[in-house]
């Protein structure tokens, strides 16, 4: 019997080979298949008579096969299946190529439904390679009247779903499989609260799934998309609101604005700051003066000068004798930032360090050897890494700096270059990056550290052993049961859910049953939450304060790690958990993106972040000359590129993903590389980047490109190059019509970094007027925000930035540009979190959020 967790291979007519093909596109289980949504639909709801058909139209007909046979083409290179199909009005010729099995499946006299394009064939009409479906009539029913075979067709009649598929999987196969399991959608728990479904007028989950796969009307599709899209947006907003709640409970180190030194730095720059850079810098500096963590998104077009604004923020930390860290996607980009920032800050006595897997450097004589590391072990085990991190005021590295759980001495600000994905989970991790300070109190620290030190050490050992044995992602009860076994092993005496009195003025005012009382000395509470917020801390603090105990431990088995919060109630009078309980010092956070997101969208999408926008470019920048190159002018484009290379320039080539299963772009890059290397530029040194290359190989290729050894670099859109290569003056984009204008604009921004005139060539074989008109707009406009708005008109919501665009949540249904739905999701999320931050009254919703976080963690 099939369940939602059943392997895809358990479905009828799914053999070993088909299962492998399905798993190649991420379909492992029945549940995966139900949530594999169509990306468009064919409307065959109108049945045409053959006599009414016209050349050029897409049509659906029902008729009888009068004749069908196979024959070989004149040169015997392919099979041709020919059929004559008639209805009560006329007969039409139908042809299929290289599908001889059709003549075995369909016989003379069979009733068929056909859907496809009608073409002119020397004055006669013909249907080439239509979708076909044999009709089996439904027997007459006394309740419904005479049966009709039309109702049994799912591939050629009505509104037919179309799915993104890999080679060797057909649309018919995927529809047939989903049809078999669609009833199982009723077994999926509908986690969306009933009151939200009512207020937002949303369908039940099972109804939405049936309507998205097998709609009867256009309204069905709209209803399904509204429900499924709202689900996605609500989860984004809930995570965002939870971060905001956590931020409110955190404290940061205020950084005093040093006007004199900041002016000195700005005046030393070899260029003048734009007004937009000045405004963004001021907004950031004012935030840094506060004792609450800044959480700000700095948004600026490619080449608008975000880095120098980030340097002003890092300088503020360094001048206050604190630390700043800049994290970027790649090692080579980290090296470039290190070189540039070291030059910009040459007039200041500031220690700057570079920490990547392959290089460790400092900008001053420190006794450390600047070297290229051959050690494959993690950075945290490298003494040079630790020395740099503990002794530098500005540290530059990759995003791995937070993944490695490196502890900073006194981190005041973390800056993220968001060319690489850096979403909600990473922002949460940054809130806890100064984990060494969480758990300290503002009472006598040395005394508090000694309180029940031996016993606390044993308890922590038990907690981390449970984590080691079980891993993360289990339910709270499982961790509690495991702790019971650990305490028994370690011979730690405990009471489980023992009732303790809560007193007020020495009178009992209530009772509390903590998860554990250890040795009659320590209260221990366990949680399984995305993070520990202000509500949970205050609750434990008040229980502790109202009891006779002095110490409480709050243990949270979160998705990223186990977090232990320590609360101490000494004899001193305290009235707040923030005075005597755990106080976490979080760094200020500045996240940077070059993606032009409209302000209203950014505020809705990143509800936990404030927004600064740099919307003007530095003066004197040479505009990149952009040209659409249709297929007929391809050779002219190649000739121009060859001449530019002779003049000393270099070339980026971007390839689209050509197969849904080729997520890393290996196939597309290899094909383009082979063509350029063997047919177009056989005499030139060409390199290629794709997602399966090892990090060190990518770095070597980029270094060779930077050094001018490689003249042409072929890459996919999913490989984040992001490196400043001043000599690269040409951006050549294959299949340009497959990308959004915002994406194309970002690719274009990789060139034009020097005094040389730079060019962007948009190669396309799509000759449709709408596609060419859309690409032509890129030749006239150079403002990323403007292009994003224009793309909405051309392509519609949801397609502007492309599915592989980094920095955005991956959405199957929702559009980031459906501002009204986003706004409603935000309002509902705010309402839920304000009333119930622990989601105690929403267990299914809490579980769904936990599933997503576990999935994100595993990825």
Q: CB 21: neighbour CB atoms within 10 A?
A: 20
Tens digits of residue pLDDT in 473-498:
898 999 999 999 999 998 899 999 88
**Quick check: 310 and 248 in contact, CB under 8 A?**
no
Q: Does some domain include residue 597?
A: yes
Looking at residue 602, its pLDDT comes to 67
pTM above 0.85, yes or no: no
CA 681, CA 673: separation in Å to the nearest integer?
10
Looking at residue 369, its pLDDT comes to 43
Residue written as token pair 């994406």: 743
Helix axes 695-706, 331-344, angle to 10 degrees: 50
**Strand order in 728-733's β-sheet?**
625-630, 759-764, 728-733, 650-655, 712-716, 686-689
Examine the domain organization and report whether 745 and 763 are in the same domain.
yes
Q: Does some domain include residue 750?
A: yes
CATH code (residue 752):
3.40.50.300
Looking at residue 91, its pLDDT comes to 95
CA 801, CA 593: separation in Å to the nearest integer?
13
Q: Does some domain include residue 2?
A: yes
CA 824, CA 226: separation in Å to the nearest integer?
11
**Quick check: 752 and 303 in contact, CB under 8 A?**
yes
Examine the domain organization and report whether 593 and 692 are in the same domain.
no
CA 608, CA 427: separation in Å to the nearest integer?
10
Examine the pLDDT at 658 and tell me if it is beyond 70: no
Tens digits of residue pLDDT in 187-208:
999 999 999 999 999 999 999 9
Q: Does some domain include residue 197?
A: no
Looking at residue 816, its pLDDT comes to 66
Looking at residue 381, its pLDDT comes to 43
Give the CA distances from residue 797 to residues 523, 572, 778, 790, 792, in Å, rounded to whole numbers and listed in that order. Answer: 52, 59, 19, 11, 6
Examine the domain organization and report whether 428 and 545 are in the same domain.
no
Q: Could you tell me which of 746, 791, 737 has the C-alpha nearest to residue 767?
A: 737
Tens digits of residue pLDDT in 326-358:
988 778 788 889 999 999 999 999 999 998 877
Looking at residue 149, its pLDDT comes to 40
Domain count across the chain: 5
Examine the domain organization and report whether 523 and 635 are in the same domain.
no
CATH code (residue 548):
3.40.1350
When mean pLDDT is compared across 68-72, 518-522, 805-809, 830-834, the lowest value belongs to 805-809
Looking at residue 703, its pLDDT comes to 87
Q: Does some domain include residue 542?
A: yes
Looking at residue 765, its pLDDT comes to 86
Tens digits of residue pLDDT in 560-599:
788 888 888 765 444 444 443 444 578 999 988 877 666 6
CATH code (residue 9):
1.10.150
Examine the pLDDT at 304 and tell me if it is beyond 80: yes
CA 177, CA 12: separation in Å to the nearest integer?
8
510 or 23: whose pLDDT is higher? 23
CA 431, CA 411: separation in Å to the nearest integer?
11
DSSP lists the bridge partners of residue 759 as 625, 730
CA 386, CA 379: separation in Å to the nearest integer?
8
Percentage of the chain beyond pLDDT 90 is 41
Examine the domain organization and report whether 410 and 472 are in the same domain.
no
**Quick check: 432 and 249 in contact, CB under 8 A?**
no
Residue written as token pair 């340009």: 736
Examine the domain organization and report whether 283 and 356 are in the same domain.
yes
Looking at residue 357, its pLDDT comes to 78
**Quick check: 431 and 606 in contact, CB under 8 A?**
no
Examine the domain organization and report whether 678 and 609 are in the same domain.
no
Q: Which two tokens mark 776?
A: 């032509």
Coil, strand or helix: which one is 626?
A: strand
Examine the domain organization and report whether 170 and 128 are in the same domain.
no
Looking at residue 160, its pLDDT comes to 87
Helix-strand-coil split of the chain, %, nearest 5: 40, 20, 40
Examine the domain organization and report whether 708 and 629 are in the same domain.
yes
**Backbone angle region of 489, left / alpha / beta, with phi > 0 → left and psi within -120 to 50 → alpha:** alpha
Q: Does some domain include residue 789?
A: no
**Quick check: 149 and 135 in contact, CB under 8 A?**
yes
Examine the domain organization and report whether 451 and 545 are in the same domain.
yes
Looking at residue 607, its pLDDT comes to 67
What's the average model confidence in pLDDT over 359-387?
55
CA 47, CA 571: separation in Å to the nearest integer?
84
Range list of β-strands (E), 337-378 = 352-355, 359-362, 371-372
Domain that holds residue 28: 1-38+163-188
What's the average model confidence in pLDDT over 625-632?
93
CATH code (residue 154):
2.40.50.140
Residue written as token pair 């503990």: 390
When mean pLDDT is compared across 371-385, 492-506, 677-691, the lowest value belongs to 371-385
- Mean of all residue pLDDT scores within the chain: 82
* pLDDT band with cut points at 50, 70 and 90 for residue 30: very high
Range list of β-strands (E), 631-698 = 650-655, 686-689
Q: Which two tokens mark 157?
A: 């009649």
Cα 122 to chain centroid, rounded:
51
Element (H, E) at 94: strand 91-97
Q: Which two tokens mark 493?
A: 């005496």
* pLDDT band with cut points at 50, 70 and 90 for residue 771: confident
Residue written as token pair 């008729």: 63
CA 416, CA 580: separation in Å to the nearest integer?
33
Cα 341 to chain centroid, rounded:
29
Looking at residue 520, its pLDDT comes to 87
Q: Could you tell me which of 6, 1, 12 has the C-alpha nearest to residue 31?
A: 6
DSSP calls for 787-843: HHHHHHHHH-TT-SS-TT-TTS---SS--TT-HHHHHHHHHHHHHHHHH-TT-TT-H
DSSP lists the bridge partners of residue 354 as 361, 396
Q: Does some domain include residue 356?
A: yes
Pairing state between β 551-557 and 522-527: parallel
* pLDDT band with cut points at 50, 70 and 90 for residue 801: very low
- R_g of the chain computed on alpha carbons: 32
**Quick check: 848 and 235 in contact, CB under 8 A?**
yes
CA 39, CA 57: separation in Å to the nearest integer?
22
Q: Does some domain include residue 215?
A: no
**Backbone angle region of 648, left / alpha / beta, with phi > 0 → left and psi within -120 to 50 → alpha:** left
Query: Could you tell me which residues come within 8 angstroms of residue 323 by beta carbon, excluding any fewer than 6 positions away?
Result: 317, 392, 393, 394, 395, 408, 409, 410, 411, 412
Examine the domain organization and report whether 354 and 364 are in the same domain.
yes
Examine the domain organization and report whether 461 and 476 are in the same domain.
yes
Exposed, middle or buried by CB within 10 Å (0-12, 13-18, 19+), for 707?
exposed
Q: Which two tokens mark 384?
A: 């040079």
When mean pLDDT is compared across 106-120, 363-377, 767-781, the lowest value belongs to 363-377
CA 738, CA 745: separation in Å to the nearest integer?
13
Q: Which two tokens mark 297?
A: 């998104």
Tens digits of residue pLDDT in 40-61:
888 777 889 999 999 988 888 9
* pLDDT band with cut points at 50, 70 and 90 for residue 405: low
**Backbone angle region of 540, left / alpha / beta, with phi > 0 → left and psi within -120 to 50 → alpha:** alpha
CA 380, CA 713: separation in Å to the nearest integer?
33
When mean pLDDT is compared across 13-17, 82-86, 280-284, 455-459, the lowest value belongs to 455-459
Element (H, E) at 612: strand 610-614
What's the average model confidence in pLDDT over 463-478?
89
- Max mean pLDDT among 349-358, 447-456, 627-636, 811-820 falls in 627-636
CA 149, CA 157: separation in Å to the nearest integer?
11
Range list of β-strands (E), 646-752 = 650-655, 686-689, 712-716, 728-733
């Amino acid at each position: 019997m099939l369940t939602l967790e059943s392997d895809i291979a358990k479905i009828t007519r799914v053999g070993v080979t088909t299962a492998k093909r399905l798993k190649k596109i991420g379909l492992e289980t029945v549940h995966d298949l139900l949530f594999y949504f169509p990306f468009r639909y064919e409307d065959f709801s109108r049945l045409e008579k053959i006599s009414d058909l016209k050349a050029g139209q897409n049509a659906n007909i029902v008729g009888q096969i009068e004749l069908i046979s196979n024959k070989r083409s004149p040169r015997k290179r392919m099979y041709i299946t020919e059929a004559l199909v008639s209805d009560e009005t006329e007969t039409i010729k139908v042809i299929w190529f290289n599908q001889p099995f059709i003549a075995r499946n369909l016989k003379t006299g069979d009733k068929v439904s056909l859907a496809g394009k009608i073409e002119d064939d020397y004055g006669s009409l013909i249907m080439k390679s239509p979708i076909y479906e044999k009709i089996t009539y439904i027997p007459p029913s006394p309740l419904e009247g005479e049966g009709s075979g039309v109702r049994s067709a799912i591939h050629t009649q009505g509104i037919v779903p179309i799915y993104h598929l890999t080679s060797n999987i057909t649309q018919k196969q995927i529809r047939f499989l989903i049809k078999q399991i669609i009833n199982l959608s009723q077994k999926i728990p509908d986690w969306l609260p009933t009151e939200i479904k009512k207020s937002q007028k949303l369908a039940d989950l099972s109804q939405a799934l049936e309507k998205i796969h097998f709609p009867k009307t256009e309204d069905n599709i709209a209803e399904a998309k509204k429900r499924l899209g709202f689900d996605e947006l609500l989860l984004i907003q809930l995570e965002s609101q939870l971060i905001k709640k956590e931020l409110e409970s955190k404290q940061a180190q205020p950084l005093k604005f040093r006007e004199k030194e900041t002016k000195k730095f700005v005046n030393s720059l070899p260029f003048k700051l734009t007004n937009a850079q000045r405004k963004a810098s001021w907004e950031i500096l004012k935030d840094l003066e506060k004792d609450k963590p800044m959480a700000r998104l700095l948004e600026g077009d490619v080449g608008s000068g975000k880095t120098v604004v980030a340097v002003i923020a890092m300088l503020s930390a360094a001048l206050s004798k604190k630390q700043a860290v800049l994290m970027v996607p790649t090692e080579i980009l980290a090296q470039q930032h290190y070189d540039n920032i070291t030059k910009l800050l040459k007039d200041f006595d500031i220690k700057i360090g570079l920490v990547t897997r392959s290089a460790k450097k400092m900008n001053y004589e420190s006794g450390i050897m600047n070297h290229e590391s051959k050690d494959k072990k993690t950075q945290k085990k490298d003494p040079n890494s630790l020395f740099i991190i503990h002794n530098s005021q500005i540290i530059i590295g990759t995003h791995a700096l937070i993944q490695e759980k490196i502890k900073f001495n006194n981190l005041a600000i973390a800056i993220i270059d968001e060319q690489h994905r850096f979403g909600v989970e990473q922002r949460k991790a940054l809130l806890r990056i100064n984990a060494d300070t969480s758990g300290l109190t503002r009472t006598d620290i040395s005394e508090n550290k000694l309180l029940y030190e031996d016993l606390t050490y044993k308890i922590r050992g038990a907690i981390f052993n449970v984590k080691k044995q079980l891993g993360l992602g289990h339910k709270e009860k499982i961790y509690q049961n495991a702790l019971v076994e650990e305490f028994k092993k370690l011979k730690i005496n405990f009471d489980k859910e023992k009732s303790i009195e809560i007193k007020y003025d020495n009178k009992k005012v209530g009772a509390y049953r903590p998860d554990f009382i250890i040795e009659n000395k320590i209260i221990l509470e366990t949680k399984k939450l995305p993070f520990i917020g202000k509500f949970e801390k205050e609750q434990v603090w008040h229980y502790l304060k109202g009891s006779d105990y002095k110490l409480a431990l709050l243990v949270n088995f979160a998705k990223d790690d186990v977090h232990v919060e320590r609360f101490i109630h000494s004899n001193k009078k305290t009235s707040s958990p923030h005075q005597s309980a755990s106080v976490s010092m979080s760094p200020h956070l500045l996240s940077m993106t070059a993606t032009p997101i409209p302000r209203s969208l950014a505020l809705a999408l990143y509800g936990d972040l404030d927004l600064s926008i740099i919307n003007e470019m530095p003066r004197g920048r040479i505009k990149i000359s952009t040209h659409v190159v249709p297929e007929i002018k391809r050779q002219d484009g190649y000739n121009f590129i060859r001449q530019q290379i002779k003049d000393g320039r270099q070339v980026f080539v971007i390839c689209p993903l050509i197969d849904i299963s080729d997520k890393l772009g290996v196939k597309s890059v290899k094909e383009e590389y082979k063509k350029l290397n063997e047919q177009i530029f056989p005499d030139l040194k060409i390199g290629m980047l794709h997602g399966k290359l090892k990090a060190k190989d990518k770095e070597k290729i980029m270094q060779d490109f930077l050094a001018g050894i490689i003249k042409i670099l072929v890459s996919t859109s999913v490989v984040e190059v992001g490196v400043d290569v001043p000599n690269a003056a040409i951006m050549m984009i294959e299949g340009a019509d497959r990308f959004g204008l915002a994406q194309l604009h970002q690719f274009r921004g990789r060139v034009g970094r020097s005094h040389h005139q730079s060019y962007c060539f948009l190669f396309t074989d799509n000759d449709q007027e709408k596609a060419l008109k859309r690409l032509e707009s890129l030749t006239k406009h150079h403002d990323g925000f403007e292009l994003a708005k224009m793309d909405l008109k051309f392509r519609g919501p949801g397609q502007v930035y492309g599915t592989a665009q980094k920095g955005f949540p991956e959405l199957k249904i929702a559009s980031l540009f459906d501002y009204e739905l986003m706004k409603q999701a935000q309002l509902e999320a705010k309402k839920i979190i304000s009333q119930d931050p622990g989601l105690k009254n929403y267990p299914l919703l809490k579980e769904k959020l936990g599933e997503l976080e576990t999935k994100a963690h595993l990825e």
